[in-house]
Each structure stands twice: as structure tokens, then as C-alpha cells.
A and B are shown apart, each in its own frame.
Chain A
Amino acid sequence: MVRYLGRRALYMAATLLAISLVVFVIISLPPGDYVTALQAKYSVMGQGLTESDVANLRQRYGLDGSLFAQYWHWITQIVLHGDLGMSFEHSKPVEDVIAPRLGWTIAVSLITLLVTWALAFPIGVYSAVKQHSVGDYAVTTMGFLGLATPNFLIALVFIYFSVTWAGSVPSGLCSPEWCDASWNLGKVLDLLGHLWIPMIVIGTGGVAGLVRIIRNNLLDELRRPYVTAARARGVPEGPLLRRYPLRVALNPFVSTIGWVLPMLLVGDIVVGQILSLPTLGPILLGALKAQDMYLAGSVIMVLSVVTVIGTLVSDLLLGWLDPRIRLGHQR
């Protein structure tokens, strides 16, 4: 187990390094850099920057020198000082823009993940156990639809119905009268009242995918000879299902953290846009449109790092749960 853990951790470090390279490429792709953008902004406002200001700024952001030197400057600033650069749009350090929204992003994603699990598990098990029943067909059809519908379309349909029936759109995560209030029961209830829409919109794809995986896994498991043998010996269906097949079919819960989490984060980009959530999605989009690359790159990096950590956690859990995986890596 220790060897497995060490291997995964080492691998994660390598992935993080590579991700930082990709993000740096994204940051440096658009023509011009932070200081030239700043110069342009100031000259529009009628107050040009002096030569020495420019030189100082370029020095501070390490913009002169080879691409590699620029990368080195950027990454050491992040690792040693936690300095992600300046946001051109917001005129403040990137970490100050991201920090207040990161909490909400993770909270919304985690709650959605929990709800996704809570919904997908019973539905998946039901549709596998009652294969070819009306319920199973309904579930399978809904699953196909859920995977084929872009989540912003679900959001648009939601908005249409909430405007025609309720006359307004529930936007944000809290009503105006509760937003500044301190935490109490009323605020929590208000939050839950707002949260269910983004949850449905973000989570539909995840639920559909997960139900499909659980159903397939459980069906495979139910066809195994040991199930037939247990049935022949007269083990009742309930305990038979609980004892082995269900436990094996549980694996996807853990292994999917790796892909469900990024899916939820991406859903947030799209949904945050329509429902104006205080999350990272809308910030990323605004930054990309304004070519505010330090901010955009940093958000992409944060999303990727969260994904990588999610994958690591799921790998470790899986290795701990399932000896086949743990031992398979040792060869």
C-alpha cells in the first residue's frame, strides 16, 4: 500500500508540473502581455506610463527573457509566494479575485456530487435488478436524454418554465434579503431553495452517466456463476444482492470522482453564466473574453488541480477498497 501511495503521489506531482506548462502556454498564447495591455489601458485614459514604470513592471512580472525564463519566474512566484499575478480586468491580485469564489465553487460541486450519488445509486440498482421492466426502460431513456442534452439547454428550459409559471428567474445563491445576513436557519433554507436548480442543471449529466455505469456493472456481476450458485442453494434475493454483487458494483462511485468532478466544475462554467452564481465559472468566462490571461490561466489551473486531487483521492480509495487494483500495480 505504501508503494502504491508513493507511486500515485509521484505521478500526481508530474501531472501538476505538466498542467502548469499547459496553463503557461494558454497564458502566453494571446498576442501582447499584461504590461502592454496595461500600457494601452493607461494611454486610453490619457495618462501614459513612463519608461521606468514600464521597465519596473516588466521586471516584476519577469516578462523579458526567454519563454523558459518567463515560465520559471511565473511558477516560482506561485510556489514560493502564492502570487498568481495581477488581474487586468479587476485591477487586483488574481488570488484575491479567486479566493472568495473558490469556496462556493467547491461547495456547490461537492453538494452536487453527493446528490448525484444519492440519486444514481438507487436508480442504477433498481434498473439492473428489474432489467427489462417498464421502470428500467424509462430510466434508460432518461439516461440517454440526460447525456445528450447540453446542460445549458436544461438551464434554458428551466428558465423558460420558471418565467412562465412563477414570473421570475431564481438567480444567484441567495435572496437579496438574506445575502448579507449571518448564517442561521433562514439563510440555510434560503440557500437550499436556490441551490436545487443549479444542482439539477449541473448534475443531470453526471447522474445519467453514473446510472449507466452502475447498471452495467451490476448486470455483469449478476450474470456471474457465483450468483447462480447462491440462488441454487436457496439464498434469498435480498441478502444475495447485498452480500457481493452490490459491493462490487459500488466501485464506480469511487472511481468516477475523477471524471464526475471535472464534469461538475465545467457545468458550473455554463450554469454560473445564466444563473449568475458566485462561483469561478463566470469569472473564467469574463477573463477569457477580455484576454485577462493571468486570471483565466489561474482559474483553469485551479480547476485542473482540483481535478487531479479528486483523481488521486479516488485512486487511493479504490486501491484501499479493491485489492485487485492495489496488487495489480505491483507486478
Chain B
Amino acid sequence: MTLKEAEGIAERPAEVARTRASQRKLVWWAFKKHRLALVSAWLLAGMLVVIALCEFVAPFDDRHRDSAYTTAPPQVLKLWSDSGFGLHVDGYTSEQDPRSLRITYEANPEDRIDVGFFVKGEEYELFGFIPMDRHLLGPQDPGDPMYLWGTTTDGQDLLSQVVYATRVSASVGIIGVLLAFLLGIVLGAVSGYFGGWIDNAVQRVIELIMSVPSIPLWLGLAAALPAQMGPVGRYFIITTILALVAWTGLAREVRGRFLALRSEEFVTSAMLDGSSHTRIMFRHMLPSFSSHIIAALSLSIPGMILAETALSWLGMGLRPPAVSWGVQLQDASKWSVLSGAPWLLIPGLCVVLVVLAFNFVGDGLRDAADPYKH
């Protein structure tokens, strides 16, 4: 037996496993090889947990306002002080400049604020129906200041605000993309499957929408919203507006796939079997590239999140009392405020992180989507 043959035998169990694995398993194996994508997927999973348990994770609720501590700097969690062992933060001493009236805060090691896990705090309803008052992390005495990421110009805890904003901003991205996808999948499928004048018409509409720069278009549509509209209504309409402009890229992707698949044998045989057009499109053709669709979905969420952030930051998207990353960053846009409070840029960091994560996961999925390629 030559060395080569021996290697061939040694490889065989893996080979067998490979040929017997389901497609889902193959995609997962290919995805796992993309290290960054895997880390990003965990990050996004963590984010989803935070979104679901947002009231519990945030130390304070989103209406909490402490006028004694406006734009206070972040505190550092400590384990050890002169008075013994235990998780705590230092309190603040404040000083007001008599001329500029600007208040500056210093950490005060004398003033120890004990911090604990699962502490009692403001009451809330988890998932909207389970009444609770425990928070993941918070001051032992609910009245004490514990602002790990500092406070905003209104004296709100930045950490809690970011947690609530994550729910709003990320869900705008996800819901918006799902809406856009509904439009994109139907129009893209019809366009690619039937071809001819339908295809032509849909393609012209797509090109038209793409030819208007998207942010001005979004701004123009958002400007029509009445100023007195409630935050919930505004949230849904902004999401819809984002989706109405963003479906075009997805529709193109779907159309291309349908166009390529139309001449495959399994489609012809489904036709000869007398399946209806809808059944052929959505039962036979669509599932054959569902992993590509998930990749495309994941890659279009960042655009949505960035658009919402820009829109809200410009004051044309969501508005306070709604909190989103863009709304939060408005706080940082006055340079006199920003120069003394760089922690106000933390929401921006979240945007970058989440956008990167969605991009990496999308890239990983796209590469893994076709496990039979190699």
C-alpha cells in the first residue's frame, strides 16, 4: 500500500460524513470556518438577548432622570476599597465654575456606592406582562448614582439609554429589512420568473428609485410626517419609509436568482406536473437559494441601521422621547458639550459594532451559502 492510498483511507470517515450531512449542516460547517463571522454571530445573539430583556438589563428605566448629575463622567467598577471587599463605584463630588456655570464632577473615593447583581430598582413589566423590579446590575440603594457609562445632558444614565436605544435601532433595521424583503421577494420573483414586459416594468421602477439619492428621498418623505405624531406611529412610519426605498437591491438579487433557475430541469418538471406559478415560485424555486437570501438579508440590515441613525440624528427620523442611537448622538453634536463629554459618543460605537457584526455574518453566510461549490 502506498502512502497516498493510506491517506485516502484515513480521510474516508470524514468524506462519508460530508456526503451524508444535510445541507444545513454543511452550511454550518462552512460558516464556522469564518472566525470573524462566528464571533459576530455570538455578538448579535447577545444583542438579541439584551433587546428581549432590555428592562431587566438596564440599571434604570428610560424615563429615569437625575437632575443632580447632568453630563457626569463614567464611573469605574471597583472590587476593593479601604472599607473592605465588595463590588462598588465611587460617588461624585461636583463643582460649579462661577463664570461658565459649567458643572464638573470628580470621583470621590470617600463616598462608596455599593453595587450588586439582581438588585431591586424601578418596577417594570418583562415582555410587557411579567411584573418585576429586579435589575441585572444596579446600586444597592436605588436612589444612589451609579452611572457606568456616564450621564447625558439631561442627567439620564447613558448605559440604560443605550440599552433601550439598541432595542429601537436594531429593530428598525430588522423589521425594516423584513418589510423590504417582502416587497423585494414578491416583485423580484415575479420579475425574474415571468420576464418580458413585467420584468421590464419592475426593473425600470427599481432603476428610478435607485437614481434618486436615498437619504434626500427619505428626508423628503419623512418631512411630511406631522410633528405631533406619537413615538410609536412615527417608529412604524419611519421603518416603512426606509423599507419602501431599500427593497430595490434585494429585489434585484432575487430576480437574478429566478432568472438563472428558470431554465433548470426541476422547474420544467414542476410545470409539466401542473403546479401553479405561485407554487413553482415559492415552493420549488425559492427554497433552493434560501441561504443566499438570508445572507442578503443580513447584508442589508446595516444600511437600514445607518439610515435610521443618520435620519434621527438629523432630527428627521425618530424623536425624543423615543431613544435610538441617532437620537442619542444629537446630544453630542454641540461641540461645546462634546468637548467635555466624549462618552456621549458611545452610542456611535454601538452603531459601528453592530453594523460590522451584521456585515461579517452576512459575508460568512454568503461564502457558506453554497456548500457544494468546492
Q: Which residues of A contact B (CB under 8 A)?
A: 14-15, 18-19, 22-23, 26, 29-31, 144-145, 147-150, 152-153, 156-157, 159-160, 163-164, 169, 262, 265-266, 269-270, 273-274, 284-285, 288-289, 291, 293, 296-297, 299-300, 303-304, 307-308, 311
Contacts and interface: CB of A to CB of B under 8 A. Distances in A.
B223 A288 contact: yes
Given A30-B224, A144-B356, A157-B345, A266 B338 contact: no
Given A29-B224, A160-B342, A285 B219 contact: yes
Contact of A152 (B313, B338, B355): B313
Nearest to A28: B224
B310 A15 contact: no
B338 A160 contact: yes
Nearest to A293: B223
Contact of A22 (B207, B212, B224, B335): B212
B345 A15 contact: no
A285 B314 contact: yes
B219 A288 contact: yes
B226 A153 contact: no
Q: Which of B212, B222, B335, B359 has the most CB of A within 10 A?
A: B212
Contact of B339 (A26, A149, A163, A262): A163
Contact of A160 (B315, B339, B356): B339
Interface in B206-226: 207-208, 211-217, 219-224, 226
A148 B221 CA distance: 25
Contacts of B335: 159-160, 163, 169
Q: Which 3 A-B pairs have the closest CB atoms?
A: A29-B224, A26-B220, A262-B213
Nearest to B309: A150
Contacts of B316: 285, 288-289
Given A26-B221, A288-B219, A31 B207 contact: no
A311 B348 CA distance: 32
A291 B223 contact: yes
A143 to B, nearest CB: 11
Q: Give the interface size class of chain B.
A: 35 or more
Contacts of B204: 14
Contacts of A160: 335, 338-339, 342, 345
Nearest to A273: B314
A326 to B, nearest CB: 19
Nearest to A292: B223
Contacts of A284: 216, 219
B211 A269 contact: no
B326 to A, nearest CB: 8
A296 B222 CA distance: 12
Contact of B207 (A15, A265, A274): A15
28 contacts: A18-B208, A22-B212, A22-B217, A26-B217, A26-B224, A31-B226, A144-B356, A148-B355, A150-B309, A153-B345, A153-B348, A156-B329, A156-B333, A156-B348, A157-B345, A160-B339, A160-B342, A163-B335, A164-B339, A169-B335, A269-B219, A270-B310, A284-B216, A288-B223, A289-B223, A296-B219, A297-B220, A300-B213
Contacts of A303: 213, 216
Contact of B359 (A26, A30, A147, A169): A147
Contacts of A148: 302, 351-352, 355-356, 359
Interface in B317-332: 329, 332
Given A14-B204, A15-B211, A156-B329, 7 more contacts: A15-B208, A22-B212, A145-B352, A265-B213, A273-B314, A285-B219, A291-B223
Nearest to B360: A144
B306 interface: yes
Contacts of B309: 150
Nearest to B345: A156
A270 B219 CA distance: 12
Contact of B217 (A31, A147, A159, A300): A300
B223 A150 contact: no
A23 B224 CA distance: 13
Interface string B334-359: 01001100100100100110011001
B345 A159 contact: no
A30 B223 contact: yes
B358 to A, nearest CB: 9
Nearest to B326: A150
Given A15-B207, A15-B208, A152-B310, A145 B226 contact: no
A109 B155 CA distance: 40
A296 B215 CA distance: 13
Contacts of A288: 219-220, 222-223, 316
B339 to A, nearest CB: 4
A307 B211 contact: yes
Nearest to A23: B220
Contact of B216 (A164, A269, A293): A269
B219 A19 contact: no
A296 B216 CA distance: 9
Contacts of A149: 348, 351-352
A188 to B, nearest CB: 27
Q: Which of A160, A289, A291, A299 has the most CB of B within 10 A?
A: A160
A304 B211 contact: yes
Contacts of B310: 150, 152, 270
A284 B215 CA distance: 11
Contact of B306 (A29, A145, A150, A297): A150
Nearest to B224: A29
